[in-house]
Amino acid sequence: MTQTPTPTPTAASAQGGPPSLGDGSSNGLVRRSSLTQNTLPSWLWIALLGGSIVLGAALSALLGFNLASFFIFTAAIYILSSYIVTRTRVNRRRATDGLWTNLVYLAFLIALMPLVSVIWSVASVGIPGLLAPGFMASDMQGITGLVDQASQTEGAPVLGGIAHALIGSLLITLAATAISVPIGLLTSIYLVEYARGGLLSRAITFFVDVMTGIPSIVAGLFAGAAMAWFLSVFSGVTGLLTTQRSTLGITAAIALSVLMVPVVVRTTEEMLRVVPNELREASYALGVRKWRTILKVVLPTAISGIASGVTLAIARVIGETAPILVTAGFVVNTNWNLFQGWMTALPVYIFRQFQNPTSPNFSDPSEQRAWAAALVLILIVMGLNLFARLIATLFAPKQTGR
């Protein structure tokens, strides 16, 4: 695999030394250089990158300059030229190594591009909409196509807002959390504290994993069908309700909890497993019963991890659109009642404003509202993520002294 340290004329000249092969007097020089001959000067990659940028700019200018072609040309020229230089000046293995290093860095840059692009596009369009008066405080009641037409053609301020969608999202997510946290927490307690590797616990672990992958729209279809069945049975038994449509806020909450429960189970299970066994044993030794040990010792130790896991689960479901769209529908006015009537959530609001603008021919105000709502949604989700990490680090149980 290794190359013999016989310096080629090019390698020797690269060090600035005279190409004096076979000269007995310079033997010491050749031997010293055999340690350094397989390296390239450290400034070379900067020079190559600079050259590639210039060349890439020139080439893309030939085709009519744009950022994408500039980036592609520069990356291609840089990767190719550094491979060729290393291949000719050092050896093939080094060149392959350098090639893959460059490709890995390129992959990282490529992954950053959509992130930057999404945040830039949402912020640049969304901020003006967010600053429109009453955007956070008003709903869409009374906002007709004529109002939007006036905004677009006569420069009237864009009216309408997201208050109803914020309230809907808040209520639906809270209800989903209230349903899924007890179920998820109890299940993970069963898996960690009670199960002894039996069939039931293995089945639960497996199917919780499977549940993580349920398409969100399928969860919505399930919740809608289940609620319709429940309502028909309920009204059939009691005779209290006339057949009501299953499109309710609570149906959406059930759909979201189908998505949320597996996340809660997975995270809390992990957190409960890292609680040291010595704590449980100390509690048992004092004669404390198991259920009180779990409630008073295990859960308080793991509470920071559990709280951050629940927050992450909330962050995951608050951005879900499809299950709410098929279960809770969309309305223009504020609805505070989870058990009566249709309800709008923030993601559904964004979707509807794009897909069915309030005024089909004058869609600019609708798009402005949608982008501003998207900005609000991103801020909420990222805030929740940040909050979760904050809880996890700030309130983490001390690792030492135990």
Partner 1 sequence: MTSSLTQSDKRGVAGDRVFSALTVSAGVLILLTLAFVALFLTVNSRDAVYQEDQGGWILTAFLDYAYPLVIGTLIASFIALILAAPVAVGVALYISHYAPPRLSKGIGYVIDLLAAIPSVVYGAWGMSFLGPALIPIYGWLHENLGFIPLFAGDPSQTGRTIFTAGVVLGVMILPIITSVCREIFIQTPKLHEEAALALGATRWEMIKMSVFPFARAGIISGIMLGLGRALGETMAVALVLSPGMLTASLISSGNSTIPAEIALGFPEAPPGSERQAQLIAIGLVLFLITLLVNMTARWIVSRHKEFSGAN
What is the separation, in whole angstroms, between the first and last Cα of the chain? Answer: 51
Q: What is the sign of the dihedral through the CA atoms of 133, 329, 254 and 309?
A: negative
Residue from the set 76, 136, 170, 218 that interacts with partner 1 by CB under 8 A: 218
Using CB under 8 A as the binding rule, whether residue 72 contacts partner 1 is answered as no
Q: What is the DSSP string of 157-210?
A: PP---SHHHHHHHHHHHHHHHHHHHHHHHHHHHIIIII--S-HHHHHHHHHHHH
Assigned token pair, 360: 């089909």
Stretch that binds partner 1, among 17-25, 76-84, 365-373, 394-402 (CB under 8 A): 365-373
Q: How far is the CB of 150 from partner 1 (least distance, A)?
A: 23
**Positions in 220-239 near partner 1 (CB under 8 A):** 221-222, 225-226, 228-229
Using CB under 8 A as the binding rule, whether residue 315 contacts partner 1 is answered as yes
What is the rounded distance in angstroms from the CA atom of residue 134 to the CA atom of residue 157? 11
Pick between residue 122 and residue 150 the one whose CB is nearest to partner 1.
Answer: 122
Helix axes 92-130, 67-89, angle to 10 degrees: 160
Q: What is the sign of the dihedral through the CA atoms of 123, 128, 131 and 134?
A: negative
| Nearest residue to 327 (alpha-carbon basis) of 248, 258, 256 | 248
Using CB under 8 A as the binding rule, whether residue 90 contacts partner 1 is answered as no
Q: How far is the CB of 342 from partner 1 (least distance, A)?
A: 10
Pick between residue 65 and residue 229 the one whose CB is nearest to partner 1.
Answer: 229
Residue from the set 6, 88, 96, 337 that interacts with partner 1 by CB under 8 A: 96
Identity of the amino acid at 402 = R
Pick between residue 74 and residue 321 the one whose CB is nearest to partner 1.
Answer: 321
Stretch that binds partner 1, among 104-112, 129-137, 156-164, 278-286 (CB under 8 A): 104-112
Residue 133 Ramachandran class (φ > 0 left, ψ -120 to 50 alpha, else beta)? beta
Q: What is the DSSP letter of 314?
A: H
Q: How far is the CB of 119 from partner 1 (least distance, A)?
A: 8
- Say if residues 252 and 324 touch (Cβ distance below 8 Å): yes
Q: What is the sign of the dihedral through the CA atoms of 390, 395, 400 and 402?
A: negative
Q: How far is the CB of 199 from partner 1 (least distance, A)?
A: 11
Pick between residue 207 and residue 339 the one whose CB is nearest to partner 1.
Answer: 207
Using CB under 8 A as the binding rule, whether residue 381 contacts partner 1 is answered as yes
Q: Contact letters (x/-) for partner 1, 261-300, by CB under 8 A? A: xx--x---------------------x-xxxx-x------
Residue from the set 106, 123, 136, 279 that interacts with partner 1 by CB under 8 A: 106
Using CB under 8 A as the binding rule, whether residue 253 contacts partner 1 is answered as no
Pick between residue 53 and residue 222 the one whose CB is nearest to partner 1.
Answer: 222
Using CB under 8 A as the binding rule, whether residue 45 contacts partner 1 is answered as no
Q: Contact letters (x/-) for partner 1, 117-136, by CB under 8 A? A: xx--xx--------------
Pick between residue 56 and residue 323 the one whose CB is nearest to partner 1.
Answer: 323
Pick between residue 215 and residue 236 the one whose CB is nearest to partner 1.
Answer: 215
Q: How far is the CB of 36 from partner 1 (least distance, A)?
A: 17
Using CB under 8 A as the binding rule, whether residue 326 contacts partner 1 is answered as yes
Residue from the set 132, 150, 377, 392 that interacts with partner 1 by CB under 8 A: 377
**Count of residues in the chain:** 402
What is the rounded distance in angstroms from the CA atom of residue 389 to the CA atom of residue 257? 22
Count of chain residues binding partner 1 (CB under 8 A): 96
Residue from the set 150, 370, 372, 392 that interacts with partner 1 by CB under 8 A: 370
Residue from the set 59, 211, 299, 307 that interacts with partner 1 by CB under 8 A: 211
Assigned token pair, 24: 């007995």
- Say if residues 43 and 75 touch (Cβ distance below 8 Å): no
Residue from the set 130, 163, 322, 391 that interacts with partner 1 by CB under 8 A: 322
Assigned token pair, 322: 């499809």
**Positions in 136-195 near partner 1 (CB under 8 A):** 182-184, 186-187, 189-191, 193-194
| Nearest residue to 204 (alpha-carbon basis) of 222, 182, 189 | 189
Assigned token pair, 141: 């009641």
- Say if residues 304 and 391 touch (Cβ distance below 8 Å): yes
Identity of the amino acid at 92 = R
What is the rounded distance in angstroms from the CA atom of residue 372 to the CA atom of residue 128? 8
